[in-house]
Amino acid sequence: MGRSCCRYSRILLLLLLISSVIADGTWQRAYSAESSRDVVTSLPTTQNAVTASRRTAIVTAVANASPAVVNISAVRSVETRTSFDEWFWGEITYPRRRALREVGSGVIVDRNGHILTNHHVIRDADKITVTTADGREFGAQIVGYDLLSDLALLEIDTDGVSLPEIKWGDSDSLLIGEWVVAIGNPFGLSLGDAQPTVTVGIVSATRRTLTVEDLYHEDLIQTDASINPGNSGGALVNIHGELIGINTVIRSTSGGSQGVGFAIPVNKAKRVVRQITEYGSVIPPYFALEVQPVTEELAEKLSVSHNTGVLVSEIGKRSPIADTGIKRGDVIVAISGQRIKDERDFHARTRLLPLNQPVQCEFIRRGKRRQTEFTLKTLQWNYAPSGWGITLAQPDKAMAQKYKQRGVIVTHVEKDSGLASALERGDFIYQIDDTLIPSLEIFKIVDDRIRTQNRAQVYFERDGVYQVIPVSFFNRNNRRR
């Protein structure tokens, strides 16, 4: 009986051990299966998190803006002369022409096919081709350009197909150090690919002043986002993908990017686009005001700092500031809150001022600062250059389309003018010496420059016939043919 009981106890214990092992194995298998399900379930969750982390604000900004950035290919014909070697060995000596291609970038500013770019990208182009980010190609026409701001507006025929347009930002609200993205076509890398190149940086500075190839730029945006040749005309956008500038200039000792690039602020570009769209070119407001630089001698007499502001030397009777309290001898030091450094700065800041809105002006008289304001009423459509004996007019958009090129129209010739036998009413002046004259504003600049010469060549069109006349100069105010 005792042996049977012990045998029974051992058998029972063995059964308990076996069932325990079986139960433990079942639990382990169940735990392992559950763990596997957890791993499988968590794997896509992790992937989603990683994917979400990759889609940063910069990626989103690029996705929003890059479809509106285009490649521009501008082909122009240039004349080449016979080289010395060719001449020496008696080879052909007549001029030859060859095609040069300029590659750059542009930004679609509306769904109707208007594209904003730099003027230097399309300057003297015979053919302009625009390639959108999705690979479509269009021939482009020049709507108008502004030489002094280096901006041009193109138009392509979309055949009713809408295009992705950029969203306008606000360049006046930029913060130093905020992220920006430069989008464009450096070195023509995206030719044949269509997708633009993207570089990232920050706003390094604002309101930079720079003179490039005799063009004075004020209020430029400085960025360390890489900008290289071919980026010209492309977009500088903020973290929301909004256009804040048009990439235009690099400062480099090597010809490539060194982290110092500049863009034209979009608020200035918008004013240029508005005028080109309405008038075909930028037409400055009518000031009837003459200013001159403040020299060291004048600065001491007027109790102002040297190279600060401009001296008012003449005010016309119809000038919009004639009744504001400003007088001859006053020194204008600020317009609309922006400091005026010299003559170029004054003209650059006033040429795009709006009409029918009060403009704040700060000036110095006898060492004391004073405030006033004025309202501009009209644009300068006419101009009578001193000593020429003629009156010129800026053609409006419709009239400009009647000519093959841009220029100014002679509206009056004085009988005693030295040019009375050469020019007549209706003549279309488009060039002086080697400089094209697309507007009255450029004519005034060229006129000031050639007054130091003895003679200049004036090119004009009359009834479809192109002519040229020499103009000789006796002094600053008298000239004859």
Residues tagged active-site: 120, 150, 232
CB-neighbour burial class of residue 435 (10 A; exposed 0-12, middle 13-18, buried 19+): middle
Whether residue 77 contacts residue 128, with contact meaning beta carbons closer than 8 Å, is answered with no
Structure tokens at 409: 């129209």
Q: Which residues are registered as beta bridge partners of 360?
A: 373
Q: Please count the CA atoms within 13 angstroms of the CA of 152 that sit on its side-chain side.
A: 26
Whether residue 312 contacts residue 304, with contact meaning beta carbons closer than 8 Å, is answered with no
Structure tokens at 212: 């490039």
How far lies 133's CA from each of 121, 163, 235, 363, in Å?
18, 10, 13, 50
Residue type at position 414? E
**Integer Cα distance of 18 and 12 in angstroms:** 10
Whether residue 364 contacts residue 302, with contact meaning beta carbons closer than 8 Å, is answered with yes
Q: Which of 349, 343, 352 is nearest to 361 (CA)?
A: 349
Q: Which of 337, 331, 338 is nearest to 308 (CA)?
A: 331
Structure tokens at 29: 């298998």
Q: What is the CA radius of gyration of the chain?
A: 34
Residue 153's CB is within 10 A of a number of other CB atoms, namely 24
